[in-house]
Amino acid sequence: MILLSQFFLQKELQKSSFSRADLEKGLQKVQKGLGVSLGSMGIVSSRLRKLSFTTATGHARLITLLQTADGLFIPLLLRKKTDKIGKNMTPENQEFQEVLLKNYECIVQDIQENRFEIVV
C-alpha cells in the first residue's frame, strides 16, 4: 500500500514538474525493490529508498519511506535530478537531511490528523 499525505501532494508533487502518473510509476518501481537503500536515517522501524527514474519532463529522484512493520510505502521527497536537493540526496548532505526530516515531521502530522489517501 502507498500512503500519500496532503503535505507531500501539495509541497512536493504540485511544486514539481512531475505528474501524478510519474509519481505512481516511481512508487511502483520502489515497491518492486528497485532503488538504493539509505538505511533508516534514525526513523525507527523503517527503511528509506532512493530511486532515480526518467519521465517525459526529465530525470526524477524519489525518496520513499518503507514502514517495515506493515509494508506501507510513504513518499517523502520528489525532486528533479538538477534541483539543489535532488542532485545530492545522500545521508552525508546536511541540507538533504534537514529537508527530509522536515518533510517526515509534516507527513507524520498529516497522518495524525487524517490528511492522507491510500493508494493500492
pLDDT over 90 (residue 112) = yes
User: Domain tally for the chain?
Assistant: 1
pLDDT in tens, 86-111: 999 988 999 999 999 999 999 999 99
CB atoms within 10 A of CB 56: 9
Place of cell 548532505: 93
Q: Whole-structure pTM over 0.85, yes or no? A: yes
Range of the structural domain that residue 51 is part of: 2-119
